[in-house]
Structure 1
């Protein structure tokens, strides 16, 4: 982007946002702004229910900013510096930061993410997304019960399946859903069950959820209920025991699990930053968490489920800060911390702004000429040797 250009921006209100089919009020805990500032991060979260990507940051006057864009059935989200990957209904999106160093978008945003690529994979129920050491995009292909890689010709390239899955077929047999990357490699996955029949997992929601080690196919534990979002951090494995409403830590060798924090909703999505877990919680679709221990636990605690994002202190399990959504949006999916970014925004694929927002690197025109000048000098150096 040339120096004089400034990208457009969408409004970023602190406490309210307009959802696709109705209003949703967004409120934040009193300390959320301070937490984002002191921990030098922002974060992204998704709602597959309404098909939205939310970016949460801090404005110049230290207020919480919410930027939202529509991506049909927004699911797994993965952040790497300057880039965001997003799974959707039948595509995996790549969003790039269009700002050059030192630029600010609309006098407010230090990152402006614009869709640069949408890889069509078909409706394979993309869940979580990861990037391996070679830069390949991996995703949980829930419909085909496997881990997959993007392919230039085909819908996907299967790279791994659980040992108990006998055939790659679009039947969502075990509801494979979560992916933990570690050292640039897929390390662990979660599945609701070890079922090997079409939709077999639906009868196993209350127990038998598994954490699987990818390299060996070993079941680390089967003592989970509807697990989601495994993550490796400081040599430990964290996972959402969603049917119980618990964030848990699992010993990768023994499979022993330790409860860290109870959350008042159905857990999906986990990101760990600076000693804190950022998780999303959702309300139940039918008014209750039928057949899950979570239902009884909510009643025991005399509480009602809600929808939002929680920041949990891993040292003591306390909920440090929160974002709450009340209204039309009742279900969220994934969340990703964006360290070093203060106030991000994105431009949606179906907006007027995306048609009229252009960027380029003006220095690229000078590069060939500079290289041509340098070539004789290189040749002289080579002759001297």
Structure 2
């Protein structure tokens, strides 16, 4: 399913409002498409993406959408694709992997399809469905490729870090020392994954508990950051940590419960706040000196309430906030004003200005990808 928002009106020169220009299909579980797709952004948000010749991808399991934020003129085009509970993502220039309700879907960039999508062509990347691996419903959280091209992902239900093979639902590769065995019980709410030097290196969890759902008892400040190299717990007492990242030779994470961007000393575990955002922070990527951070609302029915940010999030904002990592100041933001209330993952598509994601049969049935050696024998 496709929903597309293209911008058309400005609001006092500081925020730009997106209204519907094209709705190819309506998404049944959600409200009126005008509500679903509504967003506003600061006037400089498109300029930042233009400067870095990039776009953004967001996943929101709450709304069942993968969202592409693409520059369209002087505003942002928000392009929506429907999936069943999309969460973790791994993206590079040629590949996109998405963890959904009970599968991992993989897409490959086939830019030669671009002329079939618009006239004149304007897409510079077209991610076409290539395979789906059925994992079962395991609550897939963050994902990343290692330096050898193997996909790693956080299996939150079984409290472990996994890869894939051809015959298994998933292949457990690591679990915290405090988790005694594999069980579908979400014992510590393992969630975040950071790569360093092409290898999985840091993970976050919401507790060091070894009972079914045990992390919930101290979710306010029971979070951990763990170094996989030696299994050492680098930090304790974190308020719902998510999205650990190694960027520019430094270690970062989000304390979602406080809406804080935090820098951590990878040797001592000491930490300091770099900046704050006005909501539940989850999902982060960096480009240059900027951190792009996903922001989620907190509702009374949300299981992640009763945390410090709850009292501070009176406006209940969701969207993308951009912070400068040296000053901690907000540089730009995009707010969803409709039914998109929670963001899970956020990834920057570097060097990709206007991407598309396709899994419709009309494209799959006659779009072929062949090895280079075979292409030499294809009649042109």
TM-score, length-scaled by structure 1: 0.86
1:27 match: 40
Provide the rounded CA distance (Å) in 2 between the counterparts of 1:149 and 1:112: 26
Cα displacement string for residues 331-368 of structure 1 (whole angstroms, at most 9, x for unaligned residues): 11000011111111212x4x465456624569866624
Q: What is the CA distance between 1:290 and its match in structure 2?
A: 3.5
Match of 2:23 in 1: none
The 5 A counterparts of 1:233-382 are 233-286=247-300, 290-298=305-313, 303-347=314-358, 349=359, 351=360, 353-354=362-363, 358-360=367-369, 367-368=376-377
- CA distance in structure 2 between the aligned counterparts of 1:104 and 1:32, rounded to whole angstroms: 29
* Distance in 2 between residues matched to 1:199 and 1:72, nearest whole Å: 23
Select the structure with the greater relative contact order (CA < 8 A; seq sep ≥ 6).
1
**Can you list the C-alpha shifts for 1:102-141, whole angstroms capped at 9, x where unaligned?**
9684222111112111111110100001111221111000
Report if aligned partners of 1:99, 1:105 keep a CA contact under 8 Å in 2.
no
Does 2:219 align with 1:208? Answer: no
Q: Which moved more, 1:311-320 or 1:183-192?
A: 311-320
Residues 226, 233 of structure 2: 8 Å contact kept: yes
Query: Which residue, 87, 96, 99 being the options, matches 1:84?
Result: 96
Corresponding residue for residue 59 of structure 2 = 46
Give how far 1:21 is off: 1.2
Aligned to 1:108: 122
**Other structure's SS at 1:315 match:** coil
TM-aligned CA distance change 1:148 to 1:109, over 3 Å = same
For the aligned residues, what is the CA RMSD? Answer: 2.4
Tell me the secondary structure at the aligned position of residue 335 of structure 1: strand
Say whether the 8 Å CA contact 2:55–2:350 is kept in structure 1.
Answer: yes
In the alignment, what sits opposite 2:197?
Answer: 183
Q: Which residue of 2 aligns with 1:197?
A: 211
Whose Rg is larger?
Answer: 1
Q: Which runs of 4+ in 1 moved over 3 A?
A: 9-12, 16-20, 100-105, 287-290, 351-357, 359-366
TM-score, scaled relative to structure 2: 0.87
CA 1:68–1:143: 2 relative to 1, 3 Å: same
In structure 1, how many angstroms separate the alpha carbons of the residues matched to 2:219 and 2:4? Answer: 40
Partner of 2:108: 96
Equivalent residues in 2 for 1:223-238 (5 A)?
223-238=237-252
Q: Is the 8 A contact 1:210 1:227 kept in 2?
A: yes
1:139 is aligned to 153
Relative distance call for 1:366 and 1:199 in structure 2 (3 A) is: closer
**Cross-structure match for 1:380:** none
- 1:96 Cα deviation (Å)? 1.1
Aligned to 1:125: 139
Shift of 1:278: 0.8
Tell me the SS of whatever aligns to 2:333. Answer: strand
C-alpha distance in 2, partners of 1:362/1:256? Answer: 49
Query: Unaligned 5+ residue runs, structure 2?
Result: 8-17, 21-25
Q: Secondary structure at the match of 1:13?
A: strand
Change beyond 3 A, Cα 1:103–1:181: farther
